[in-house]
Amino acid sequence: MDWILFLLALFNLVSTIMVFTPRIVPRKSIPFVVFFFALPATELAWIWLPLQVSIAALLILGGALESTIGLLALAILLVTWPGLAWNILKAAEAGKVLEEALCNGLGNDYREGIPAMAKAQFRDQVPFSEWCNPVGFARGGVEVIRDIPYAPGGVRQQLNIYRPCNMPAEPLPVLLQIHGGGLLWGNKDQQAQPLLHTMATRGWIGISINYRLSPNVGFPTHLEDCKRALCWIREHGAEYGMQTDFVAVTGGSAGGMLTALMGLTCNNPELQKDHPGVDTSLQAVIPFYGVYDLLTRYNQHPNRVMWEEFLGDTVFHESPQDNLELWDLASPISDVHPDAPPFMIIHGGYDSLALVTEGRAPAVHRAACGA
């Protein structure tokens, strides 16, 4: 029992330290190792802390404190648990930060422009029942239509539609969701499920797409597939009740990068050769914790050499030295221009994989400000 308690304490100690590693030792940290240890102490802290306390209590009742190693483990836990609690409190401030950003961007009276029916569904807090069932994504009154092909490439070129069961007579605005996964993994059924179901209950139609993945394909195939999905919405969305002239796009991590690129490369004929002339403009762009500079101009990545070797082998199939133009195309900060659609960039200050320095880069701020 004592050694199990000690291993739990040791993992928690490393996990808590790793939350700060990318900012303290940026050149020596290994991104995916940091992410593995930091995830429980950041995004999952609200689950990880009570789970740890429960496990520790059971081990202590089983006699874990009858040895020096057990007492040392308890001491480590008592020192690190406040760190987890602090992360939970910081996360609870996100709503206030988001509200301030909306007021700054849209004006303090922005809520007055929201339809009364949609406003009536707003909630001040998440019900306790949903905290107790964090994987219960489904919402009543939502119809999900799965595996619709937007191109002839099979499973990786399919989309899901999330819409109200009782569709109104008028068409509904569209939210296009692009999954993350380093352009190497992920699928439309796994990510943003709470978002897609919630938006469907609030008068939107959500679209979650697959796109072809590396290493089987190289960039910009991923972006081209996203544009194919947008073209499908423009050409066929009305059949499903979509307001095809209002499409917002969102996504996280690699999906955040593709989201930003979708907004900054609207109607680029080189990226939509299958659909010349189809409007690929967007009305709103909301990337989450994206990667915006593949060439690390701001020295923001924890390990630049490993970063370039990894992406060169798997995603681009070429090094930046061999094809700088391709890597530059994949960097949203290279495409910032004054005619871009409205952006809202969301990034956690303690993200251990896609560092917040990405979202704070000057060029990214210019995109968010419509420059």
Terminal Cα-to-Cα distance of the chain (whole angstroms): 59
Residue 355 near residue 284 (C-beta atoms within 8 A): no
- C-alpha dist (Å) from residue 199 to 174, 185, 211, 238, 239: 9, 25, 22, 18, 19
Q: What is the pLDDT of residue 243?
A: 98
Q: How far apart are CA 38 and CA 25, in angstroms?
A: 15
Q: What is the pLDDT of residue 24?
A: 46
Residue 285 near residue 313 (C-beta atoms within 8 A): no
Residue 181 near residue 256 (C-beta atoms within 8 A): no
Instruction: List, for residues 27-49, the tens digit of each pLDDT value.
Output: 455 567 777 888 888 888 888 99
Spell out, as residue ranges, where the chain has pLDDT lower than 70.
Answer: 20-31, 134-136, 298-304, 362-371
DSSP 229-283: HHHHHHHHGGGGTEEEEEEEEEEETHHHHHHHHHHHSTT-GGG-TTSTT-----S
User: Which residue has 């910032």 as its token pair?
Assistant: 336
User: Which residue has 């100690």 as its token pair?
Assistant: 13
Residue 38 near residue 352 (C-beta atoms within 8 A): yes
Which of 279, 249, 284 has its CA nearest to residue 267?
A: 279
Pairing of strands 205-209, 158-164: antiparallel
pTM for the model stands at 0.89
Instruction: List, for residues 122-179, the tens digit of each pLDDT value.
Output: 777 777 777 777 666 777 899 999 999 999 999 999 999 999 999 999 999 999 999 9
User: Which residue has 């069961």 as its token pair?
Assistant: 165
Q: How far apart are CA 119 and CA 265, in angstroms?
A: 33
Backbone angles phi, psi at 153, to 5 degrees: -90, 15
Q: How far apart are CA 172 and CA 200, in angstroms?
A: 10
